[in-house]
Amino acid sequence: TRLRLKKPVLAAIEGHCVAGGLELAVWCDMRICDETAIFGVFCRRWGVPLIDGGTIRLPRLIGQSRAMDMILTGRAVDAKEALNFGLANRVVAKGTARAEAEAIARMIASFPEQACMQADRQSSLEQWGLPSIGHALVNEYELGREVLKRAALGA
């Protein structure tokens, strides 16, 4: 999970998504879970630390306070609470998470200008490492301008 892929990554989650599985899920761009999904830092219960980005990505995704609740207590978070936290993007009927994730992936892939979506995704991810909102706005503009420039040359 140290890679940054060019294309969006969607997670389909059914049942338990804990410890390393949770770290992998928060690396993804979207998490689609079914109503049976349970999220948690269960490794806390056995004294095993998060070592694959969980202590960084989870707070960035759901906020420091909610993340600390999960990280410190190791408690289970059900699908409804995960959706409320912003940990899950969508909750679907039992057994349908993969089908829904695949449908969303097909919809994203059907957009006419993939470079535009990729530039917006890149800007959204890179803004975390930039020193100010001003730098992030410049980065967004430059990435968008490159897409428009390539589109104009190809038109």
**pLDDT over 70 percentage in the chain:** 99
State pTM to two decimals.
0.88
Output the pLDDT for position 35.
98
Q: Tell me, what's the pLDDT at 1?
A: 61
Residues whose CB is less than 8 angstroms from the CB of residue 61 and which lie 6 or more positions away in sequence, other chains included: 26, 67, 86, 87
Cα–Cα distance, 101 to 32 (Å, whole number): 6
pLDDT higher than threshold 80 for residue 142 = yes
Q: What is the mean pLDDT of residues 120-149?
A: 93
Best CA proximity match to 91, nearest among 37, 18, 28: 37
Per-residue DSSP letters for 49-115? PP-SSHHHHHHHHH-HHHHHHHHHH---EEHHHHHHHTS-SEEESTT-HHHHHHHHHHHHHTSS-HH
What does the pLDDT look like over 46-98, one tens digit per residue?
Answer: 999 999 999 999 999 999 999 999 999 999 999 999 999 999 999 999 999 99
* CB-facing half-sphere around the CA of 72: CA atoms within 13 A: 7
Would you place residue 31 in the very low, low, confident or very high pLDDT band (cuts 50, 70, 90)? very high
